[in-house]
Amino acid sequence: MYSKEDLKEEFAKAKAKDQSGKREVYTARAAMMKKHMEEERDMPELYENLISRQTGLPAFNFAGLYETYSSDNPKEHFWLKNYGMTYREVWMKKDPSAFKGSTEDMIDDVLVDVPEVPEDDVSRTIGEMNED
């Protein structure tokens, strides 16, 4: 039988593995959730002591967690699924002063400068073709 502590420890190891590369991924956490989702379906007796006494429901929703960690952006998936808004939208409602400035200011914050490239024969020819 699994305990909450066992699952928390296993999750911490999966998270550490996902964060060990240059960029955080969610593959180990998704694999963990899939494993437990399938085990809970095939051997429910392993999870009997993980039933919430208050609600009578399982303490962990492995299918929902698997769906979240399998998505392209788990954080946004969670907020959209549970609140119908992105993380940024939730924060803007909660604390509008945290996002000062107009939409144009926010766009300017993420814009990058495109370097000037000297014109060569190919780009000159393409430019002339576009003028016609």
Given a cut of 90, whether residue 42 has pLDDT beyond it is: yes
Kindly report, residue by residue over 93-111, the tens digit of the pLDDT.
877 776 666 666 666 666 6
Structure tokens at 7: 């699952």
List, in order, residues 6 or more apart from 99 with CB less than 8 Å away. 88, 91, 92, 106
> Nearest to residue 33, comparing CAs of 79, 74, 83, 92?
74
What was the pLDDT predicted at 99? 64
Q: Does the pTM exceed 0.85?
A: no
Domain ranges of the chain: 4-110
What is the DSSP secondary structure assignment for residue 53, as one 8-state letter? Answer: T
Of 21-25, 28-32, 120-124, where does the model show the most confidence?
28-32
